[in-house]
Chains A and B, each alone.
Chain A
Amino acid sequence: MTERSRDLTFRIGTGAVALVVVLIVLAIGVELTRQSLPSIQKFGFSFWRTEIWDPVAGEFGALPFIWGTLYSSVLALLISTPIALGIAVFISELCPAVLRQPLVFLTELLAAIPSIVYGLWGIFVLVPAVRAIETSMPHSLRQLPLFTGPPLGLGMLSAALILSVMVIPFTSSVSREVLRSVPIAQREGAYALGATRFEAIRAALYYARTGIIGAIMLGFGRALGETMAVTMVIGNNPRISTSLFAPQYTIAAVIANEFTEAADQLYLAALVEMGLVLFVITLMVNSLSRLLIWSMTRSLAPLQEAAAGAPAGGAAA
C-alpha cells in the first residue's frame, strides 16, 4: 500500500514537472502575443509579408528577416550535414580506438565556444577570406543570380559558413550516438549476407535514419535562433536577395540589435512580434520534423521488427 502511494506521489511529482514545460511554452506564446498587440492590431497579417522596416515612419514588416533566417539556416544545413555525418560515421564505425576519444572531445569543444567568439573570428578571419574568394571569382560566374552584387565579404555566404561550423557538433554528436545504438546484430547480419564495409555502414545509416533526421533538425533549430555570430557577419541589411554575396538580416539579429534603443511603443511591439514570428517558425519546423520522424518510424516499424527478429531466430535454429 505504501509502495503504491509512493509510486503515485512519484508519478504526480514527475508529471507536474513535465507540465511545467508545457506551461512555460504556453506562457511564452501568450506573453509574446500580448506584448505585440499594438503591432498585430496595426499591421495584421501584412506584417508577415511586407518588406519594409522603417522605425522612423513606424512601418514594419518581417518578410526580409524571415527570408534571411530561413535562407541562412537552410544553407548552413546543406554545408554542415555531409560534414557532420562524415564525422559521425568515421568516429563510430571506422576510427581506430586511440583516436576516438580525442575526436569526440574536439567536435564537442566546437559546441562549447561562445557564439561571440565565433563572431569575432568571423569578422577578422572568415569575412576577409570570403571577400578574397569573392573577388577572385571569374566574371562569368559572377553573372549567376547566386553571386551577384559587390564582393563585400560580409553577407549570406559568411553567415551560412559560420552557422554551419556552429551546427556541426550538434548534428555529429547526436548522429554518432544514434549510429552507436544500431544493434550489433544488424551489422553482423549485413556482413553475414556478404556486404562490404561500405554496404554495412549504409545499412546502419538507413537503420538510424530517423535519429539522424532528428539530429539534423536539432541543428536547424540551433541555426534559426543563432544571434551574435550571425549579426556580426551577415551585413544586417533587410533586403531580400538570392545572392550569397548580398548583406541580409535575420530575425534574432534584428531583435538583438534594435531592442535596447526602441523607445516608441509600436516599434517595441513590432520587435516583440518578430520574437513571436521566430517562435512560430521554430514551432512549425519542430512539429514538421516530428511528423516526418513519426511517419518514417511507422513505415519502418515492420522492417525493424523483422531485422531485430531475424538473427534471434537464426540463433534458435
Chain B
Amino acid sequence: MTTIKRVGLAAACASALVAGASTAIQINGAGATFPYPIYSKWFAEYNKLHSDVAINYQSIGSGGGVQQITKQTVFFGASDMPMTAEQLQSAPGKIMHFPTVLGAVVPVYNIPNVNTELKFSGPMLADIFLGKITKWNDGAIAKLNPGVSLPGTDITVVHRADGSGTTYIWVDYLSKTSEEFKKRVGVNSSVNWPTGVGGRGNEQVAALVKQTPGALGYVELIYALQNKISYGPVQNMSGELVKASVESVTVAAAAAAKQMPPDFRVSITNAPGKGVYPISSFTWLLLYENPKDKAQSHVMVDFLKWALGDGQKYCAELGYAPLPPDVVKLELAALAKVKTS
C-alpha cells in the first residue's frame, strides 16, 4: 500500500515538473541602464498578457550588455550605442540591432538671476566643453542670446564620471558640430574631458548643476523635467532653435528613417530636417539572427512585435519618445528574419 502511494506521489511530482518546464519560459537579458524603466514596464505588462513568459533584465550598462550577448551568457542584450564592426565580428553569430525607443539629452544650467531661457548651439557647447569658452558673458553665448544680461562669472562644466550612453550621445553630437571636439575628445561612452567636474549618473549631474551657481551640464530629458532644472533649446541643422520634447525627438527619428541603413546602426544626432531636436538617439535591443534556443526566440520576436506596437504607448509617461511608424515598419520586416524554428 505504502509503496504504491510513494510511486504515485513520485509520478505526480515528475509530471508536475515536466508540465512546469513545458509551459514557463524564462528569458534573460542585460545591458543599458537608460531604457531600464521602460523595459521593466514592458516586461511586466507583457507578463500580464502571457503569464507563462518571464523576461529578466539586468541593467548593467551598455558595455556589459554587448559583452554578455557576445559571450552568449544572456539571450538578448541592450545598448545605447550601436555595436562597432569589430565587436560584431568577434561575436559567434550575426547580431541584429532593433531600435526600441528614443531619448534626448539636454543642456542644463544654473545661472542665478537670469530668468530668460538660454539658447545653445553645437559649436558653442563644444567650445564650452573643450574649456575654450570659460565665462558666461562670452561673445559666442551673447550672440545667440541677445537681450539677456549674462554675468561675467565662470562656467563650471559638469559631465558624467561613469561610462554612459548619455555621454555617448552628447559627445557624438558635439563631435558632429565641431571638428576640434572630434579631434581632441572624440566619441565614446567615457572620454578624456579637457575640463570640468564629473558626477556619477544623471541624478548626480542634475544635483550638482542645481546646487552650483554657474554650472552647465547635460542630462537625459526626463531628469531635467523631474528635477525642475532649466534647460534650453538647441540650434539644429536648419538653424531653428528647438527645445527637447517627446515630439521633437520623434521628428528627429522620422527624419533619419529616410536613410535608415538595413542594420539600424545609425546615429541621429544633428539630423537634418524641420522641427528636429538635434541631440536625440535610439536605444537598441540586440538579438542573434539565428539563436540556439528557438523557443525563447519565438517568444522574443512576439514580445518585440508587441513592444514596437502596443508597447509604444507607455513611452511618453516615462519620458521616452516613441518610434516613428516608418521605423517600426522597417523593423517588423527585419524581425521576420530572426529564426524562430
Instruction: Say how far A211's CB is from chain B's closest CB, in angstroms.
Output: 37
| Contact of B211 with A56 in the complex, beta carbons under 8 Å | no
Chain B residues within 8 Å of A249, by CB: 198
* Interface residues on chain B, number (Cβ under 8 Å): 34
Chain B residues within 8 Å of A53, by CB: 192
Smallest CB-CB separation from B203: which chain A residue? A123
Interface residues of B in 185-199 (CB under 8 A from A): 185-193, 196-199
B108 part of interface (Cβ distance < 8 Å): no
| Contact of B63 with A263 in the complex, beta carbons under 8 Å | yes
A124 part of interface (Cβ distance < 8 Å): yes
B52 part of interface (Cβ distance < 8 Å): no
**Residues in A lying within 8 Å of B, measured CB to CB:** 52-57, 123-124, 127-128, 131, 150, 152-155, 231-232, 235-237, 247, 249, 253, 256-263
| Contact of B186 with A235 in the complex, beta carbons under 8 Å | no
Smallest CB-CB separation from A54: which chain B residue? B192
Q: How far is the CA of A259 from the CA of B67 in the complex (A)?
A: 12
Instruction: Say how far A239's CB is from chain B's closest CB, in angstroms.
Output: 10
17 contacting pairs across A/B (C-beta < 8 A): A54-B191, A55-B163, A123-B207, A123-B211, A124-B207, A153-B212, A231-B161, A231-B200, A236-B161, A236-B198, A237-B197, A257-B162, A259-B163, A261-B162, A261-B190, A263-B62, A263-B63
| Contact of A261 with B198 in the complex, beta carbons under 8 Å | no
Query: Which residue, of B61, B185, B197, has the highest number of chain A Cβ atoms within 10 A?
Result: B197
| Contact of B163 with A260 in the complex, beta carbons under 8 Å | yes
B281 part of interface (Cβ distance < 8 Å): no
Q: How far is the CA of A119 from the CA of B115 in the complex (A)?
A: 31
| Contact of B207 with A261 in the complex, beta carbons under 8 Å | no
Instruction: Say how far B136's CB is from chain A's closest CB, in angstroms.
Output: 13
| Contact of A257 with B204 in the complex, beta carbons under 8 Å | no
Chain B residues within 8 Å of A259, by CB: 163
Contact for A123 among B61, B67, B154, B208, CB less than 8 A: B208
Instruction: Say how far B306's CB is from chain A's closest CB, in angstroms.
Output: 29
Chain B residues within 8 Å of A123, by CB: 204, 207-208, 211
Known: A256-B162, A261-B63. 14 other contacts (CB 8 A): A55-B191, A152-B197, A237-B196, A237-B197, A253-B161, A257-B162, A259-B163, A260-B63, A260-B163, A261-B61, A261-B62, A261-B163, A263-B62, A263-B189
Q: How far is the CA of A52 from the CA of B193 in the complex (A)?
A: 11
Q: How far is the CA of A154 from the CA of B211 in the complex (A)?
A: 11
Q: How far is the CA of A150 from the CA of B156 in the complex (A)?
A: 9
Contact for A257 among B62, B163, B188, B196, CB less than 8 A: B163
Q: How far is the CA of A150 from the CA of B214 in the complex (A)?
A: 11
Q: Closest 9 A-B residue pairs measured CB to CB?
A: A261-B163, A236-B198, A260-B61, A56-B186, A236-B161, A54-B192, A263-B63, A261-B63, A235-B197
| Contact of A154 with B190 in the complex, beta carbons under 8 Å | no
Chain A residues within 8 Å of B193, by CB: 237
Instruction: Say how far A17's CB is from chain B's closest CB, in angstroms.
Output: 33
B164 part of interface (Cβ distance < 8 Å): yes
| Contact of A261 with B208 in the complex, beta carbons under 8 Å | no
Chain B residues within 8 Å of A152, by CB: 156, 197, 212
Instruction: Say how far B74's CB is from chain A's closest CB, in angstroms.
Output: 15
| Contact of A56 with B187 in the complex, beta carbons under 8 Å | yes
Chain B residues within 8 Å of A261, by CB: 61-64, 162-165, 189-190
